[in-house]
Structure 1
Amino acid sequence: MTSDATPSSAAENADQDEQVLELARAMLDDAREGRAQRLLPLLDQGAPVGMRDAHGNTLLMLAAYHGHAELVAELAARGADVDQLNDRQQSPLAGAVFKGFDDVARALLEAGADPDAGTPSGRDSAVFFGREEMGQLIEQRAPRG
């Protein structure tokens, strides 16, 4: 079996791989920093909205955990899974409740987030951290069955 790869094409492939990784890192940083003006056009051009970092955090999780409600809504509108758990089984909603980002939690709930997803769940986080208003909002949006 022969290889079609020449030393120069292997180097080009390695360079392209590094460029893709650099773009992915930049997109994850954009989500974390709330830089919608840089991130959303890339998604609109076909970059995966479900991209994850090494810890399983999606773009939406990073935006939610860092308090970027408008970006969370935009990501959800582009098909991001609002209930995707990270490697620690944490949900974006639980992260928003934990961090006290009511506007992010509202955006997630409006996008259909399940308050019972994850460990702990958003609902449990509201109780544990004494976030009564958030607990009431969760009950209004998704009463316990």
Structure 2
Amino acid sequence: MSTRKGNLALLQLLLNSGRVDADCRDSFGTTALMVASYSGHYDCARELIMQGTDINLQRETGSTALFFASQQGHNEVVKLLFEFGGSTEFQTKDGGTALSAACQYGHSKVVDTLLKNGANVHDQLHDGATPLFLASQEGHVTVIRQLLSSGAKVNHPREDGTVPLWMAAQMGHSEVVKVLLLRGADRDADRKVCSPLATQHCIVKHLQCFSDKKPLLNGSTALHAAVMGDNHKSVNLLLGANADPTLPNKDNELPADLTKSNRILRALRPHILNGSS
């Protein structure tokens, strides 16, 4: 409670009493340092460190104090944890790291600090999603530029074959689409067919993203994704980068078959005619 509320005087009183261990945990394995890091209470976090708390303890989920500080964007706390031995190597049960958390939530200052302290730009969740994929999914352009400048692979797919460009196009992040194309993203890469065990998971994921739209079909290109996302800016960016509107998905559907938007159809039509000729 003292660390959650940032009450440094009470925290010091409790720790100095000798009746409370700095590494005491709740039923989920949460330490006071994790709470202070999540809440951004720098002074409380420093006091706990000075009292000998283990910086790299993991919660039941695998999360550490560094993970929580990174997730919430508390850059000064992140720097403090590194100063006293915080590690970027620990993963959550789904493969998440401090870097993947910071990228997912768009905390560019934290991303910079993590990368300077050895975070791996090629980290992956257990489903294969990289920090670049997560940032692309959420539309965090600044973070995407940081990751690409640090060597992130622009075309690295998730296990189901989905690449960052495809996801950005589906989610309607046209500025992300532009950046990824400029950095060499494969404009016509399709989304590979999911394995039988993964098919239901893929469908559920897309239904969660677009509850009012049917899930995108396996084998769809980024252009299919942009059309289904009803995002004309991304469609035009992809066409400007010579994406092929005559490539069908696995059900032999062209991007133009997946929309009733006159604006998007007008954009696609000349390219389809040129492709056919």
Q: Same fold by TM (over 0.5)?
A: yes
Distance in 2 of aligned mates of 1:32 and 1:107: 17
Distance in 2 of aligned mates of 1:103 and 1:124: 17
> Is 1:53 aligned to residue 153 of structure 2?
no
| Counterpart contact for 2:155–2:186, Cα < 8 Å | yes
| Counterpart contact for 1:90–1:121, Cα < 8 Å | no
Shift of 1:134: 1.6
SS of the residue corresponding to residue 124 of structure 1 reads: helix
Distance in 2 of aligned mates of 1:142 and 1:113: 12
SS of the residue corresponding to residue 21 of structure 1 reads: coil
User: Once the two structures are superposed, what CA deviation does each residue of 1:73-114 show, in whole Å capped at 9, x if it has no partner?
Assistant: 111111111111101111111111111111111111121111
Of structures 1 and 2, the one scoring higher in RCO (CA 8 A, sep 6+) is 1
The percentage of counterpart residues that share the same residue type is: 27
User: Once the two structures are superposed, what CA deviation does each residue of 1:97-145 show, in whole Å capped at 9, x if it has no partner?
Assistant: 1111111111111211111224132122123333333222112123438
| Counterpart contact for 2:166–2:225, Cα < 8 Å | yes
| Counterpart contact for 1:85–1:118, Cα < 8 Å | no
Going from structure 1 to structure 2, the CA distance change for 1:43 and 1:93 (only over 3 Å counts) comes to same
> Is 1:135 aligned to residue 204 of structure 2?
no
Distance in 2 of aligned mates of 1:125 and 1:42: 32
Worse overlay, 18-27 or 41-50? 18-27
> Greater Rg, structure 1 or structure 2?
2
Unaligned runs of 5+ in 1: 1-14
2:107 equivalent in structure 1: 35
Larger helix proportion of the pair: 1
Q: Which amino acid aligns with 2:188?
A: D
SS of the residue corresponding to residue 97 of structure 2 reads: helix
The two structures have a TM-score, normalised by structure 1, of 0.77
The two structures have a TM-score, normalised by structure 2, of 0.43
1:72 equivalent in structure 2: 144
Distance in 1 of aligned mates of 2:125 and 2:150: 19
1:104 equivalent in structure 2: 176
**What number of residue pairs does the alignment pair up?**
133
RMSD: 2.8
Worse overlay, 56-65 or 133-142? 133-142
Distance in 2 of aligned mates of 1:116 and 1:143: 6
Worse overlay, 51-60 or 32-41? 32-41
| Counterpart contact for 1:49–1:79, Cα < 8 Å | yes
Picking from 18, 21, 25, the partner of 2:90 is: 21
Unaligned runs of 5+ in 2: 1-56, 65-86, 192-219, 245-274
Shift of 1:28: 1.3
Distance in 2 of aligned mates of 1:52 and 1:22: 10
* Off by >6 Å, runs of 4+ in structure 1: 15-18
Going from structure 1 to structure 2, the CA distance change for 1:125 and 1:41 (only over 3 Å counts) comes to same
